[in-house]
Chain A
């Protein structure tokens, strides 16, 4: 019931501005690396103000999909629109309005937290960077770490600083690749709460790639399940669990990982 109320709120956010283009529009996207079809003809849409989970095992194509949305990887075919702009051709119009966090990148270790955030604040042309850094430090509880070098932070502290970097420009679209991986349960829970609040306060869209099914169940309005580069399912978590006759997304994930969507649905009949 709580989830239904929550989802209705999201739809209200989206319907509040029905003419606005979707945060992300992916159409028949394909990426081929030599002989490997990393992403195989996927299409989906991410409404503004929603959190969508991108699930899949290792090698399912999640990171490549996110990288194509960001413009870090060029698609072999298909199209990606972000906030109404064609990627990567019109990336200059949107890169300042989105941000990301990924385990594939770090922030310079020798720089202090303040220095790193100052550089990124200026890169994103944030007005009054010092004030924004102070706000983020207070929100994400790292004021006491602000003059410590990034290399001397613990994994949890680094995650909070990386999240601050991802939020520094008040992004309308946030792409998160396993944001709570390697965090202890308390810190991970804290990060999730902050993401929920950020979405609520800013009506931002979030695409979240994760292996943590509880995290996805808690945060996401929609779930896209990928396997071998293809989309196996795309619906609300409740609808997916009902369709697979499973009580948790983790069970659905295991069914899909073992037999693909068709096999999994067959098995549950």
Chain B
């Protein structure tokens, strides 16, 4: 038997309820968002292995790729001309990857702790939960990526901060993309339980070849270039290459990426709410497991 919508709600009122959920600014409580950030801060500070892990992988990445770039630069003309694009790509990729992971892991912490029912039953609104996860993703990212950039400077004399203001544009675009992915992943886990947990760890890698992290878009076949340009990170990586190789800031690329990111973020909010509603329909908020 197919489930029917509650008859208690007139169809128009049902739509009204959904719209209320989508109105992001209404009744958002900074105190409740702060409470959620505090909750995750307590978890981070209570576990040194968690903190160490945040630094460990980025440090490993930048060291491995840094030496590879050194080797290429010493043995080929192209490598010498490419400057720090490889290391720059590694650092920007980590912003995208760690940003999404930081968001998703904070959400998974609630599922692992069987705390999601407590939160959904409290006055905390879905948008407040998502905003707190965004802040947590920034905090986790800062803990992991700042030491990574310092290591690149120390070992390979690559200073990502010389990119200056354009770096802020690149960073914002990548973090917005990572949040859009993180929000959708959280919705999937909420709907399908921890059986969908692996998606949180792997989904971002589907973007890796298409976003042209380590090579220009021109390398791709023409038909695949259309797909690549539909992804905001592609604009960020192309922009980074233009900055490092040609010392040109491509503001057009940044603006286009912002436009696509805006659409993606709205779509991800909508997807999360739809999956949240579906999980309430199917009772998966009560089980939360596989």
Contacts and interface: CB of A to CB of B under 8 A. Distances in A.
A49 B101 CA distance: 47
Interface string B115-131: 11111111111000000
Interface in A175-227: none
Contacts of B38: 118-119, 122
A122 B190 CA distance: 23
A77 B39 contact: no
B35 A122 contact: yes
Contact of B118 (A75, A109, A111, A120): A120
A106 B110 CA distance: 10
Interface residues of A, number: 47
A108 interface: yes
How many B residues touch the partner, as a band?
Answer: 35 or more
Q: Mostly helix, strand, loop or mixed at chain B's interface?
A: helix
A56 B276 CA distance: 29
A50 interface: no
A123 B35 contact: yes
A95 B121 contact: yes
A78 B6 CA distance: 6
Nearest to B8: A79
A20 interface: no
A72 B280 contact: yes
A121 to B, nearest CB: 8
Most central of B17, B36, B114, B286 by chain A CB within 10 Å:
B286
Interface stretch (A6-14, A96-104, A248-256, A258-266): A96-104
Contacts of A21: none
Interface in B2-44: 3-4, 6-9, 13, 16-17, 20, 27, 29, 31-32, 34-36, 38-39, 42-43
B120 A72 contact: yes
A115 B43 CA distance: 10
A110 interface: yes
A62 to B, nearest CB: 12
Interface string A74-118: 111111100000101100100110011010111111110001001
A230 interface: no
Contact of A122 (B34, B109, B120, B282): B34
Contacts of A35: 1
A74 B1 contact: no
B282 A33 contact: yes
Interface of B: 1, 3-4, 6-9, 13, 16-17, 20, 27, 29, 31-32, 34-36, 38-39, 42-43, 46-47, 109, 113-125, 277, 280-283, 285-288
12 contacts: A33-B3, A33-B282, A74-B281, A75-B6, A75-B8, A76-B4, A89-B20, A95-B122, A104-B287, A105-B118, A107-B115, A123-B35
Q: Which 10 interchain pairs have the tightest Cβ spacing?
A: A122-B35, A79-B8, A105-B117, A106-B114, A77-B7, A108-B113, A119-B39, A96-B123, A95-B123, A74-B280
